[in-house]
Each structure stands twice: as C-alpha cells, then as structure tokens.
Structure 1
Amino acid sequence: MGYKILCFGIFCVLFAYYIYTPIPENIEERWKVRMIDAVVKTTSLVATLFEETGLMKYEDTFLTLSVHLSKPVSDENVTVIDTDFSDVPVRLYLPEKKSEILRPAIIYLHGGAFVLGSCKMQSYDDLNRWTANKLDAVVVGIDYRLAPQYPFPAALEDCVLVVKFLLQDKILEKYGIDPARICISGDSAGATLAAAATQLLQNHPEYKDKIKAQALIYPGLQFIDIAMPSHQDNEQGPIMSMEMGVKFLTLYLNGNSSLKKAMLRNEHMPEGSRHLFKFVNWSDFLPDKYKKNHIYTEPVLGKLKASYPALLDSRLSPLLASDSQLQSLPLTYILTCEHDIVRDDGFIYVARLRNVGVQVTHDHIEDGVHGAITLTTLPYNLQLALRIRDKYINWLEKNL
C-alpha cells in the first residue's frame, strides 16, 4: 500500500509540473488538451523512471495506466462479435437492419505507436460502432500483434492476412459485403499499417484493384528523416513528443538505447541509403507555409554501428515506395494535424500521390493534435475529436 501511495504522489507532483507546459494558442478546449498532455507526459516520465530503476518496462507502465478493453456488446443496431480471421483476433460490427444491396466494408487499424492499443479499447469500439451505424457498413477492427514482443513486421503481416481473408468470395458473401466497396483505414501507427498494407495488396497481381479506398488519419509514413519541420516545431507535443515517438519506434524495431539516441540526432541511417532521401525530401514536397524558416539538411549516414534493415523497407516507411508503385494506389483520404510530429509525412504523401495521378482528398486540421480521434468518448469528449471523426465518416459516406 505504501508503494502505491508513493507512486501516486510522484505522479501528482509530475502532473502539477506538466500542467503548466505551454500549448499552441489556437487549440480549442485548451484546458482539456492541457490536461491530456500533462497526463501523457507524466506517464512517460514515470515509465522512464520505472524502467531505469528496473521496476517495470516502459511500455508496461503505459499498458497498466491507459489501456481498458471493452466487451463485444451488441445493440439493436449493430451485432458485435469477437472472432478471428486467419488466426488473427478481430472485432466485427455487423449492421442489424436488412439491406437490399451489398454493404461496404471498412477495415480499421488502431493506433498506439505499434506498442499500445487494441481495437477493443472503448474509444475504437465507439468509433467502429459509429462507423457501422452511420454508413450501414461492415466494420472489421484488427487486434494485430504488438511490439516489443512482436517487432516489425509482425503487425503488418497480421493486417495483410486479415484483409486477404476478408477478400475471399465466400467471406464477402457470408457478411453481405460488396467486393467493389472495401476500404482500409487507420489512425497514427494504424494509418502507417493501412498505407503499407494497401501498397502491398495493390501491387500484388491476385489482389490488385480489390481495395477501393484507403483512409489515413495522421499517418507516420517515413522514419528515415526525423528532423522535418513538423518534428522540430512539435518536438514537445502536445501529447506525442519526439522522445516518446522515437522510444516506441525503437521498441517496434527491436532496437536499444543506441538506436533511440541516434534517431533523436537524425543519425540512424546507414551508408548507402542516400538514394532514398529523394522520396522524403520535405524541401521538394512541403507547401511553403510549412517550411517556415527551416533549412533542409540530410540525415547523417553511417553513425549507427548496429544494422536495422527495416529502416530501408517501404513496409515500415510507405513513402519509400517508388512512383510506379504509388500510381496503382486507390482513392485516398489523408487527414493531418498542425500540431503533430508526423504532420509533414502526410503532406509529402499527398504531394507524391497527386504527382502520379492518384485521387486524394486532404483535410488539414489547423488546431489538430496527434491522437485526437481516440478522445471522442467520456471523460474527454473533445470537440476536435468529434470534428475529425465526422470528416472521416463524411468522406467514407461520399466515396464508398
């Protein structure tokens, strides 16, 4: 009991400190965002302290404090079922009312920096239930494997397996799904996985053109240059800081503190990787408004002695796909947030997709912050979160 009281006391002291961290002036409901930001920053620091003292792993502290799973509760509108597709756990949302036509299907990949989260979390359960209701659509939430127990590319492999399973004729028929109205979507790390899965499937002869659309909500799309304007402008957040994002990515890559330190200095790329920089050169693709006074400098090569082949892999960084690979992609929706370390990834993807003729809708939220779509439910009920959700749903309604 004394140990718990001590931990609670430490948390309260740190929270009191972080609650005064400045946040951008244009953010709506500033006190709510400030509270959420303080909780996340406090949790991160407590997690770091616990890990360094050997009490608990960094990610386990987050899991203990933040992840609460919901039950598959059906109602008069939607039947909710926990099952598995190709041995991967999924949560299905099946509209109850009869339909004279086949329904669209949305495959949703949750966020959580590849380390946290679940499609069964209350926020994602509410989002997917809302989607099924609003669009009269079958929704599939995927509980893909998480790092560090299952590092890259385990999460992506699970997502691709589920999509391939769903695309079978007998499965489409079983759930009354229109094979011409299927969308892969996700937020944050889930959007990264959605983008990578869509690329793999669209460039596979057996599955080409079977995905009608992809919807990516504040996606992280490259990890070879992490000194873009958005990284620098939002180094401390709100909510997702550079330190935290790089820590989680290190876990996903099965890396150590040397990788984390090198990434924070933008010195993690190996010799021989300079040819990839053209795909993510923000000075070529960013609108002038977001370049501000930043000067482009290449990542430093060859400083990190350990080898991480995933850093060169487009399955980790979808922006590394060539133009010929991108031009086959389907109708695309991308939502970016101004106050977000991965903001510029989305802008670059929009530019590159448009350059090769892919039809793209881009919503940029000037007062947006990373992770907002998970804050639609109580106790948050953030108006920003509701706006993002509605933009996403409205695009799906018009395009599926």
Structure 2
Amino acid sequence: MGLKTLCLGMFFVIFVSHIYTPLPANIEESWKVMVLDTIAKTCTFMAICFENIGIMRYEEFISMIFHLDYTEPQSDEYVTVTDTTFVDIPVRLYVPKRKSETPRRAVIYIHGGAFCFGSFKQTALDFLNRWTAKTLDAVVVGVDYRLAPQHHFPAQFEDCLTVVKYFLQDKILTKYRVDPTRICISGDSSGGALTAAVTQKVQNDPEIEHKIKAHALLYPALQAIDSYLPSHRENEHGVILTREMAIKLVSLYFTRDQTLPEAMRRNQYMPLESRHLFKFVNWSTLLPVNYKKDYIYTEPILGRASFSLPALMDDRASPLLANDSQLQKLPLTYILTCQHDLIRDDGLMYVSRLRNVGVQVAHDHMENGFHGALSYMTSPFYLHLGRRIRDKYIDWLDKNL
C-alpha cells in the first residue's frame, strides 16, 4: 500500500510539473485559474498517455470528461426547457413562461468545443441560455451539431445552417411567437466560427427570406490557414488552450491523417493555390499596432504539404477568408476577444475587416481574459471573469436585438 501511494504521488508530481506554466500577472482569482488550468492540462496529458498506450483515442477521453458535465432539460418558474429536434438535429429550446403582448426576440446559440466536443447540455451553456431567455424574455435555441472526428467538415456547418433555416420559416416563427426581424445567432470559440460562417451564408443567400438582425462571436476561431500568428506565439503554452492542443483538434476537424498536424506545427501545410487568401489573414495589416509588438510577418511556406485538403481554403471553415462583398452584407456584430487567448488575433482581424467594409461592430477586449472563460460561470468552477463576459454579451444583446 505504501509503495502504491508513493508511486501515485510521484506520478502526480511528474505530470503537474510537466503541465504547469506560470499565469500572466494580471489574471485575477489566480489560484482558481491555476487549478482549472492544471485540471485541463492534466486531462490532456492523460488523454495523450492513453492514446499512446492504446487504451483509447485522445478525443474519446476528452469527450468522456465533457459528458460528466451534461445536464438534463429542467424547466423552472421562468423558462420552459425542452429537448427536441429540428430536421433530426438535436436542439434545446428555452421559452419564457410569462405572457408577451408582442412577438419575442430569439437567439440561436452554437456551442464551442474545437468542433470535436461539447453540447448545449453543458452546465455553463445551459445556465447561459436559460439566463438569456429569462433576462431578455427571448426564445433561445441551443444546437447540437455533429462532432469531429466521427464527422468531418462541413457536417458541423451544414447542421447549424439547417437549424437556422428551419427556425427562420414563417410557420416555426409563428409557433414560438418570434419576431422575424429580431433574431441573433451567437457562439463561442469554434461555435463562433460556425456562427460567422452560417451568418455569412444566410445574409448572402437570396433564397432565404428572413435575415439575421445581429450575430455575436465570443473569442471566436475564424481561420485555419496560418498557425503562427502573434497570439499563437504569445500563448503557445497558454491558459486552458495551448497551441499543441489546438493544432491536434483543428486537424481532427478536417482529417485523421497525422501529416496535417505535423505540417501545421511548422506552418507549412497550405498549397500554392492558397496564396491569394493570405491577404485576408495578414496580421501585419489587420492587427492593431499594440498586438503586433515586435513580431515580423512572414508569409507561411506554401506547397510543402504531401496531402490535398481543399477544405482548408473554404470560407465555411475559415470565415475570415470571405471576400469583402460577402462581409458587407453582415448584420450588427458583437465580438469579444481575450488577451491571453491563443486565437485572440482571429477576432481582432475580423473586427478590422468588418469595420473596413462598413459593418457596425461592437468589440469588447478582456485584458485579463483567457480562452473558454465563459465555461466558468457556475459552481464549483465559478470565476468573476466568466460572469463579466456573460454580462457584457447579454447587455449588448439587450440594447441591439
């Protein structure tokens, strides 16, 4: 018994020392964040170990952890919550109970999780969507799209678009008493990417009658063609999300072929014919000066990859690749970015591109923020940062939807 305890203790010390990195100085509630970061990186470390020894795949272990946080639909005195399907795609509906004299606002929320994990069933997202419905007296729809790697791109995009188009039908809007002129699509992280891509499609499709009034992107991932932006370098070993983790998961979104993540680590995975797309993600022109710091822009080396993945050049996967004429038709936009976030620069560049073509954009930047903070709004993982992000998002919706 004593030897087993000693071995377990030594293993614990080894992996904690392996995954621990100092937190940025301005992170508040630093001990809480340190614990959360350690838990996240411990789970990643264990997932890699299990995959290497053949017990289970990396993504299967992480998915198992996510499932521990899933909730059942629970109505309360303010909101009726039900799980149903829209065209066979699972959704969770939040409908306010109090009577309304006029049609309500609506929010369609697309969860994050690197396209591989997550659900509207997660405690924090259920809390957020319930809070949105109650605070705004709005109908809220949470979407559960198909996940990678069982389903590669564009399955996730197609599912989200299907739900949005279904909801925008007159008969459905009438059923839930929703005002067709007051509908928002929102999403965090990879859900932000899907939100941006779906909104681009809806706003530019003449066959879709009802358009979106607003869309909100919370620390969104918006491009997959340059894996070495300044934020990637600054936050390579960042809080919660690391560069290695992001590369592994984004790769699974497109393929199981291990040559892609290997090439992404070197930023040498895009084909020669993608050269014209880099003007849309050229951080030397699109990032504000204070985020460029002393980094020197060099275009990624093209044509080195031994594989062909046209999806990497698809603006449905990387909404930052949309041309200016597509972006001009976008509705009111809210973008929230976090300073200590690996994908911070995606959101900052989208702010620049949208403002350059005349789209009205509200931008909040959390100087002490980090990726995934919105997931920490409920006990036992409550953070003031998560609540502040929620409040900024809800306040913008209330004023603009």
Q: Provide TM-score, normalisation by structure 1.
A: 0.96
Q: 1:366 to 1:126 in 2, by over 3 A?
A: same
Task: Measure, in 2, the Cα distance between the counterparts of 1:208 and 1:259.
Answer: 39
Q: Tell me which residue corresponds to 1:265.
A: 266
Q: Tell me which residue corresponds to 1:178.
A: 179
Offset at residue 290 of structure 1 (A): 0.2
Q: Tell me which residue corresponds to 1:44.
A: 44
- Residue 193 of structure 1 aligns with an amino acid whose one-letter code is L
1:349-360 correspondence to structure 2 within 5 Å: 349-360=350-361
Higher mean alpha-carbon deviation, 42-51 vs 367-376, is at: 42-51
1:306-317 correspondence to structure 2 within 5 Å: 306-317=307-318
Task: Measure, in 2, the Cα distance between the counterparts of 1:109 and 1:5.
Answer: 44
Q: Tell me which residue corresponds to 2:91.
A: 90
Q: Tell me which residue corresponds to 1:66.
A: 66
- Residue 40 of structure 1 aligns with an amino acid whose one-letter code is A
Q: 1:73 to 1:319 in 2, by over 3 A?
A: same
* C-alpha contact 1:115 1:148 (8 A) present in aligned 2: yes
Q: 1:69 to 1:5 in 2, by over 3 A?
A: farther
1:229-268 correspondence to structure 2 within 5 Å: 229-268=230-269
Offset at residue 132 of structure 1 (A): 0.4
1:275-314 correspondence to structure 2 within 5 Å: 275-314=276-315
Higher mean alpha-carbon deviation, 313-322 vs 46-55, is at: 46-55
Q: 1:79 to 1:128 in 2, by over 3 A?
A: same
Offset at residue 15 of structure 1 (A): 5.3
Offset at residue 254 of structure 1 (A): 1.4
- The SS at the match of 1:304 is coil
* C-alpha contact 1:336 1:343 (8 A) present in aligned 2: yes
* C-alpha contact 1:18 1:41 (8 A) present in aligned 2: no
Gaps of 5+ in 1: none
Offset at residue 49 of structure 1 (A): 1.3
Offset at residue 284 of structure 1 (A): 0.4
Task: Measure, in 1, the Cα distance between the counterparts of 2:198 and 2:7.
Answer: 41
Task: Measure, in 2, the Cα distance between the counterparts of 1:37 and 1:131.
Answer: 27
Deviations 1:48-85, CA, capped at 9 Å, x for gaps: 11111111100111122233210100011000000000
- The SS at the match of 1:272 is helix
Alignment root-mean-square deviation, CA: 1.7
Q: Tell me which residue corresponds to 1:24.
A: 24
- The SS at the match of 1:115 is coil
* C-alpha contact 2:21 2:237 (8 A) present in aligned 1: no
* C-alpha contact 2:47 2:57 (8 A) present in aligned 1: yes
Q: 1:25 to 1:163 in 2, by over 3 A?
A: same
1:3-22 correspondence to structure 2 within 5 Å: 12-14=12-14, 16-17=16-17, 20-22=20-22
Task: Measure, in 2, the Cα distance between the counterparts of 1:73 and 1:371.
Answer: 24
- The SS at the match of 2:46 is helix
- Residue 105 of structure 2 aligns with an amino acid whose one-letter code is P
Deviations 1:192-212, CA, capped at 9 Å, x for gaps: 000000011111002266100
Task: Measure, in 2, the Cα distance between the counterparts of 1:267 and 1:137.
Answer: 46
Offset at residue 12 of structure 1 (A): 3.3
Offset at residue 7 of structure 1 (A): 11
Q: In percent, how many aligned pairs have the same letter? A: 60
* C-alpha contact 2:16 2:42 (8 A) present in aligned 1: no
Deviations 1:138-181, CA, capped at 9 Å, x for gaps: 00000110000011111110000000000000100000100000
Task: Measure, in 2, the Cα distance between the counterparts of 1:30 and 1:208.
Answer: 48
Offset at residue 277 of structure 1 (A): 0.5
Alignment size in residue pairs: 397
Task: Measure, in 2, the Cα distance between the counterparts of 1:334 and 1:10.
Answer: 44
* C-alpha contact 2:149 2:256 (8 A) present in aligned 1: no
Gaps of 5+ in 2: none
Offset at residue 16 of structure 1 (A): 3.2
Q: 1:180 to 1:9 in 2, by over 3 A?
A: farther
Task: Measure, in 2, the Cα distance between the counterparts of 1:82 and 1:256.
Answer: 35
Q: Find out whether 1:113 has 2:121 as its counterpart.
A: no
Task: Measure, in 2, the Cα distance between the counterparts of 1:71 and 1:153.
Answer: 28
Offset at residue 14 of structure 1 (A): 4.9
1:121-160 correspondence to structure 2 within 5 Å: 121-160=122-161
- The SS at the match of 1:186 is strand
Offset at residue 13 of structure 1 (A): 3.5
Task: Measure, in 2, the Cα distance between the counterparts of 1:15 and 1:367.
Answer: 27
* C-alpha contact 1:88 1:162 (8 A) present in aligned 2: yes
- The SS at the match of 2:273 is coil
Q: Provide TM-score, normalisation by structure 2.
A: 0.96
Offset at residue 256 of structure 1 (A): 2.2
Deviations 1:338-370, CA, capped at 9 Å, x for gaps: 000111111110011001010000000000000
